Chain A
Amino acid sequence: MIFRCKNCGGNVVYSPERKKMFCPFCESEDSEEREDGVIETSGEENGTAEGTVQAAGAGQPVSRMAAAEGAAQKKVTKVCPNCGGEIPMTVNTSATQCPYCDNYVIVDDQISGAYTPHMLIPFHMGKEVCKKLIRDKFEKCIFAPTDFLSEVRMNGIYGDYVPFWFYDYNTNCTFHGEGTKVRSWTTGNTQYTETSYYDIVRDMDIDFVKIPVDASVGMPDDVMDLMEPFDYKELQEFKPEYLSGFHSERYNMTSDLVESRAKAKMQEDAQKMLHDSYSGYSSVRKMGENINVTDSSVSYGLLPVWKYDYSYKGKEYPFYVNGQTGKLVGTAPISKAKVWAYAGTLGVTLAAILCMVNAIASLV
Chain B
Amino acid sequence: MEKDIKKEALRQYLKYFKVWFIIAGVLAVITIGAAVVHLLTPKTVRGNSQDPTERVFDYADMLTDEEEQSLREYIAECEEKIQADIVIVTISESVEYDLQNPGLAEAFHAKEVGSTDWSTAMRDLADNFYDYNNFGYDKVHGNGVLLLDNAYEGQKGSWLSTCGNVYDYFGDYEIDQALYAVDDYIDESPYKAYKNCISYVTRTMEESKESMPMTFSPWILTGLVVALIYAAVNLHQSKAKDTTTVNQYLDGKKPKINNTRDQYLRKNVVTRRIETSSSSSGHSGGHSGGHGGSHRSSSGVSHGGGGHRR
Which A residues have a C-beta under 8 Å from some C-beta of B? 141-143, 146-147, 150, 172-173, 178-179, 186, 189-211, 225-226, 228-229, 265-266, 269, 272-273, 276-278, 327-332, 334, 338-339, 341-360, 362-364
Q: Which of B222-248 contact A (CB under 8 A)?
A: 222-224, 226-228, 230-231, 234-235, 237, 239-248
Give Cα A202 to B246, complex, Å. Answer: 18
Given A273-B255, A349-B20: A146 touches B12 (CB 8 Å cut-off): yes
Instruction: Determine whether B107 belongs to the interface, using a CB cutoff of 8 Å to chain A.
Output: no
Give Cα A226 to B308, complex, Å. Answer: 77
Give Cα A172 to B258, complex, Å. Answer: 9
Given A147-B5, A204-B255, A208-B250: A356 touches B31 (CB 8 Å cut-off): yes
The reply to whether A277 and B260 form a contact with Cβ atoms under 8 Å apart is yes
Question: Whole-angstrom distance from the CB of B218 to the nearest CB of chain A?
Answer: 8
Encoded as 1 (CB less than 8 Å from any A CB) or 0, chain B from 277 to 305 comes to 00000000000000000000000000000
- Residue in chain B with minimal CB distance to A320: B240
Select one of B37, B244, B270 contacting A193, CB under 8 A.
Answer: B270
> Which residues of chain B come closer than 8 Å to A194, judged between CB atoms?
267-270
Interface size class of B (residues with CB under 8 A): 35 or more
Q: Which of B174-229 contact A (CB under 8 A)?
A: 212, 215-216, 219-220, 222-224, 226-228
The reply to whether A141 and B234 form a contact with Cβ atoms under 8 Å apart is yes
The reply to whether B223 and A190 form a contact with Cβ atoms under 8 Å apart is no
> Which residues of chain B come closer than 8 Å to A226, judged between CB atoms?
240-242
> Which residues of chain B come closer than 8 Å to A349, judged between CB atoms?
17, 20-21, 24, 223
The reply to whether B274 and A331 form a contact with Cβ atoms under 8 Å apart is no
The reply to whether B265 and A178 form a contact with Cβ atoms under 8 Å apart is yes
Question: Whole-angstrom distance from the CB of A272 to the nearest CB of chain B?
Answer: 5
Query: Can you list the 10 inter-chain pairs with the closest CB atoms, starting with the nearest?
Result: A351-B223, A347-B227, A354-B219, A203-B259, A207-B251, A201-B261, A343-B231, A146-B9, A203-B258, A196-B267
> Which residues of chain B come closer than 8 Å to A196, judged between CB atoms?
264-267
Instruction: Determine whether B173 belongs to the interface, using a CB cutoff of 8 Å to chain A.
Output: no
Give Cα A48 to B286, complex, Å. Answer: 96
> Which residues of chain A come closer than 8 Å to B35, judged between CB atoms?
359, 363
> Which residues of chain A come closer than 8 Å to B270, judged between CB atoms?
192-195
> Which residues of chain B come closer than 8 Å to A198, judged between CB atoms?
262-265
The reply to whether A229 and B219 form a contact with Cβ atoms under 8 Å apart is no
Given A197-B267, A276-B246, A339-B235: A209 touches B251 (CB 8 Å cut-off): yes
> Which residues of chain B come closer than 8 Å to A195, judged between CB atoms?
267-270
Pick 23 A–B contacts, CB within 8 A, sort by A.
A142-B234, A147-B8, A178-B265, A189-B273, A192-B270, A194-B269, A202-B260, A203-B257, A203-B260, A208-B250, A209-B249, A210-B249, A229-B244, A229-B245, A273-B246, A329-B240, A332-B237, A342-B16, A347-B223, A352-B24, A357-B27, A362-B212, A363-B35
Give Cα A341 to B12, complex, Å. Answer: 12
The reply to whether A272 and B255 form a contact with Cβ atoms under 8 Å apart is no
Given A352-B24, A355-B220: A208 touches B249 (CB 8 Å cut-off): yes
Instruction: Determine whether B60 belongs to the interface, using a CB cutoff of 8 Å to chain A.
Output: no
The reply to whether B224 and A351 form a contact with Cβ atoms under 8 Å apart is yes
Select one of A190, A200, A204, A329 contacting B274, CB under 8 A.
Answer: A190
The reply to whether A347 and B274 form a contact with Cβ atoms under 8 Å apart is no
Question: Whole-angstrom distance from the CB of A57 to the nearest CB of chain B?
Answer: 31
Give Cα A14 to B250, complex, Å. Answer: 31
Instruction: Determine whether B111 belongs to the interface, using a CB cutoff of 8 Å to chain A.
Output: no
The reply to whether A199 and B261 form a contact with Cβ atoms under 8 Å apart is yes
> Which residues of chain B come closer than 8 Å to A330, judged between CB atoms?
240
Give Cα A211 to B246, complex, Å. Answer: 12
> Which residues of chain B come closer than 8 Å to A142, judged between CB atoms?
16, 234
The reply to whether A146 and B240 form a contact with Cβ atoms under 8 Å apart is no
Q: Which of B18-63 contact A (CB under 8 A)?
A: 20-21, 23-24, 27-28, 30-31, 34-35, 37-38
The reply to whether A191 and B272 form a contact with Cβ atoms under 8 Å apart is yes
Give Cα A329 to B240, complex, Å. Answer: 5
Question: Whole-angstrom distance from the CB of B170 to the nearest CB of chain A?
Answer: 18
Given A346-B227, A355-B216: A334 touches B235 (CB 8 Å cut-off): yes
Given A269-B249, A346-B20: A351 touches B259 (CB 8 Å cut-off): no
